[in-house]
């Protein structure tokens, strides 16, 4: 997605070889117009995948997922990373390691938001090592549902996440595939 790539080049900051800061438009400040266009791209790609619900992981994936859900006219569910006093009992949970924060967290899904008949589109802001996506997949499959596809806003293609998911048979669609990062360096895979 050319507009996303240009925004990354103009406003993103490569802090080092693995960290890309895009908080001015994706996950702290949010460019709603860009998120709408991201939703349009995901809809175009996934509209014939039989999707029944769209899942994301709190919190950075919420904006692009809301726009995709609106355009596809489908329910959206946010998988929780934070402990909740009211979300207990009938839940699916799995442990996920966060590459960015170098910590583990419990990913939680209430059983009332998924059924074995669902075909789930998972959308996330970044794909690096694939841990977050694999955690979401574990919850979906534990419920007996199917993963219809995985939509990624920004993929760090130099890390193993994409290949890991593809090798497991998942359809991964990334809007911007970063091939190289370094202090002041952001390069993309041209497709």
Among positive and negative, which fits the CA dihedral 79, 81, 86, 92?
positive
Task: Give the list of residues 6+ apart from residue 164 with CB closer than 8 angstroms, or none.
Answer: 129, 130, 134
Residues making up the annotated binding site for xanthine are 20, 27, 156
Residues making up the annotated binding site are 20, 27, 128-132, 156
- Between the CA of residue 47 and those of 27, 70, 88, 178, what are the distances in Å? 25, 12, 33, 25
Query: 149, 173 in Cβ contact below 8 A?
Result: yes
Task: Give the list of residues 6+ apart from residue 156 with CB closer than 8 angstroms, or none.
Answer: 18, 20, 126, 127, 128, 178, 181
Residues making up the annotated binding site for 5-phospho-alpha-D-ribose 1-diphosphate are 128-132
Task: Give the list of residues 6+ apart from residue 132 with CB closer than 8 angstroms, or none.
Answer: 57, 96, 98, 107, 124, 126
């Amino acid at each position: 997605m050319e507009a996303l790539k240009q925004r990354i080049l103009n406003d993103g900051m490569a802090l080092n070889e693995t960290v890309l800061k895009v908080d001015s438009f994706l996950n702290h400040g949010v460019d709603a117009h860009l998120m709408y266009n991201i939703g349009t791209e995901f809809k175009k790609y996934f509209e014939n995948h039989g999707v029944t619900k769209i899942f994301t992981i709190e919190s950075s994936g919420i904006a692009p997922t809301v726009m995709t859900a609106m355009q596809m006219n489908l329910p959206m569910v946010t998988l929780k990373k934070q402990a909740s006093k009211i979300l207990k009992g009938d839940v699916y949970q799995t442990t996920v390691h966060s590459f960015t924060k170098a910590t583990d967290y419990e990913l939680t899904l209430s059983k009332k938001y998924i059924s074995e008949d669902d075909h789930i589109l998972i959308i996330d802001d970044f794909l690096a090592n694939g841990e977050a996506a694999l955690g979401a997949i574990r919850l979906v499959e534990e419920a007996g549902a199917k993963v219809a596809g995985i939509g990624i806003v920004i993929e760090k293609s130099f890390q193993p996440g994409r290949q890991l998911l593809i090798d497991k048979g998942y359809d991964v669609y990334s809007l911007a595939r970063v091939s190289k990062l370094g202090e002041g360096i952001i390069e993309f895979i041209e497709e």
